[in-house]
Homo-oligomer: A and B are copies of this chain.
Amino acid sequence: MNHITLQVKGMSCGHCVNAIEGALREIGAEGKVDLASGTVDVTYEPAQVSIEAVKEAIEEQGYDVA
């Protein structure tokens, strides 16, 4: 399992948390949003999910990954 912490802009409320964590779940990754720090901790299996797919899943919800 890989683990990465991404800086993500635009996350502001519980709906944003649900949108991002749900989108990561859909691609088979696990995300944990921290609104206070503007970060998402992502755990994923690199044999099955690419880091590009992780970033894309977040960006598709309307957020900017730094």
Per the 8 Å Cβ criterion, residues 12-30 of A in contact with B are 12-16, 19
- Residues of B near A38 (CB, < 8 A) are none
- Residues of B near A14 (CB, < 8 A) are 62
The residue in chain B whose Cβ has the minimal distance to the Cβ of A13 is B12
- Residues of B near A12 (CB, < 8 A) are 12-13
Q: How far is the CA of A15 from the CA of B10 in the complex (A)?
A: 12
- Residues of B near A16 (CB, < 8 A) are 13, 15
User: Within the complex, what minimum Cβ distance (angstroms) separates A17 from chain B?
Assistant: 10
User: Within the complex, what minimum Cβ distance (angstroms) separates A36 from chain B?
Assistant: 14
Q: How far is the CA of A61 from the CA of B10 in the complex (A)?
A: 20
- Residues of B near A13 (CB, < 8 A) are 10, 12-13, 15-16
